[in-house]
Amino acid sequence: MTDTAPGSETGTDPFELAQSELKANTVPTPDDVLLDVGPLAALWYARETAYYAMRLMSATLSLTGTDDPDDGSEPVQALAALSVACGQLDGACSLLGLLPADYANSGTP
């Protein structure tokens, strides 16, 4: 792991970049989208959003046009963390009956 924040070597703040992309595309906030739904719907939405982010990040990493990134690189670590988060969301969904009981351990997204 490096001592500098990702993007600092290019002068780009990743948080500000993400915020500006969301704002430019008028992506609603969770409060705007989920205000009138219950916790099960919010959990399912979080799961679907996390899997979408994982697919997008995985595709982006595969299309970099360079050699495979090192396993210890920040993008690969972030993808691994996102994968764990998706698994945890599957577990929560499985516990609450949104997915079959054995789904969380099946390896199926």
User: Rounded to whole angstroms, how far apart are CA atoms 86 and 46?
Assistant: 9
Please list the pLDDT of the chain residue by residue as tens digits (109 residues): 344 455 556 678 999 999 999 899 998 888 888 999 999 999 999 999 999 999 999 998 888 766 777 778 888 899 999 999 999 999 999 999 999 987 766 656 5
Query: What tokens were used for 3?
Result: 């001592």
User: Domains of the chain: which residue ranges?
Assistant: 36-61+74-109
Query: What tokens were used for 35?
Result: 């205000």
Give the predicted TM-score (pTM) of the model: 0.77
Query: What tokens were used for 64?
Result: 């970099």
